[in-house]
Amino acid sequence: MESQSQYIGSNSGMDGVDQKEGKVANQRKAGTCESILRILAFMLTLTAAVVLGVSKQTEIVSVKILPTLPPIDVPATAKWHYLSAFVYFLVANAIACAYAAFSLVLSFGNRGTKSGLGLVIIFLDLLMVALLFSGNGAATAIGLMGYQGNSHVQWNKVCNVFGQFCNQVAAAIVLSQLGSLVFMYLVVLAALGLHRRSK
């Protein structure tokens, strides 16, 4: 009888070890997943900033000054820094890119039990989501104006002339949107982790 109780006691001790090993393995998986997502956010926001930053197109545009005169061919250039919404978009992606690299280092330092640092990282991730969504919204609004124009205020569409430029802007917006969704997913994962720890 004593040997059975000793065996049961030693078995329950092994269960505690197994639970600890399981928690460590789950923390490693969560840490690896978080690191991959941060690297992905870094790459997406960096690529979005670079794609927009190198976008430039020069075309010859016919301008008609008077109906009785023939049109004059004038070279026109489209650059990202001509529109403040695109400047904001590029700066927002550059900030998010730098933060993604910095937060990757911070997350390695937070593998232990530093919940204060974890809360700061969650807050900054949420801030990056807001920053990227606002930059994406501003760039999308101006991009749609370029694609469609606005007949109410007599703004002509320009993407029929600067097609390559508009395509690069659209690609940058899609990449940035994916980057913001990665940051949002990081916030959701962190919130779920905090919820599990509070139980």
Residue ranges per structural domain of the chain: 85-198
In DSSP terms, 56 is beta-bridged to: 79
What is the structure's pLDDT at 27?
Answer: 52
Q: How many residues are listed for the chain in this entry?
A: 199
pLDDT tens-place values along the chain, 199 residues long = 455 545 444 455 555 545 555 444 455 565 688 899 999 999 999 999 999 999 988 888 888 888 888 888 888 888 899 999 999 999 999 999 999 999 988 877 766 556 677 788 889 999 999 999 999 999 999 999 988 888 888 788 888 889 899 999 999 999 999 999 999 999 998 888 777 777 6
Dihedrals φ, ψ of 183, to 5°?
-60, -40
Amino acid at 23: K
What is the structure's pLDDT at 24?
Answer: 46
Instruction: Tell me which H or E stretch contains 78.
Output: strand 72-79
Contacts 24+ apart (CB under 8 A), 143-151: 143/169, 143/170, 143/173
Q: Is the dihedral of CA 78, 82, 85, 91 positive or negative?
A: positive
